[in-house]
């Protein structure tokens, strides 16, 4: 585990449910604005599968980006979380 990798995971962990960030954005936050590609390298190692929400990291142009277990899976997780966050909003609204 390198210092850069640690930063990347920490940042990815901070992405809220139902939201996404680009590899470039992560790279900048980690202090290496031009290391988007390296961010991908780090994420594919994914030491904590299903704990680090690496599926919330997408391409800068809006594309899906890659995923260790297939883009299809990534897409499904994102749509699922989108629904979940929507449900959370409804809950908050009705709760008062």
33-to-26, 79, 85 alpha-carbon distances in Å: 8, 28, 29
Active site residue 54: yes
Distance from CA of residue 85 to its chain's centroid? 15
Give the residue with the Cβ less far from DNA, 44 or 88.
Answer: 44
Of residues 1 through 60, those in contact with DNA by CB under 7 A are 2-5, 22-24, 32, 34-44, 46, 54-55, 57, 59-60
Q: Are 9 and 52 in contact (CB under 8 A)?
A: yes
Instruction: Kindly list the catalytic residues.
Output: 54
Task: By CB under 7 A, name the binding residues for DNA.
Answer: 2-5, 22-24, 32, 34-44, 46, 54-55, 57, 59-61, 63-68
């Amino acid at each position: 585990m390198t210092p850069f990798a640690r930063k990347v995971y920490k940042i990815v962990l901070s992405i809220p449910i139902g939201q996404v960030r680009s590899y470039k954005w992560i790279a900048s936050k980690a202090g290496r604005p031009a290391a988007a590609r390296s961010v991908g390298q780090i994420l594919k190692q994914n030491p904590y599968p299903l704990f680090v929400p690496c599926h919330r990291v997408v391409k800068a142009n809006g594309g899906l980006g890659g995923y260790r277990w297939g883009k299809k899976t990534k897409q499904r997780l994102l749509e699922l979380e989108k629904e979940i966050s929507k449900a959370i909003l409804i809950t908050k609204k009705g709760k008062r």
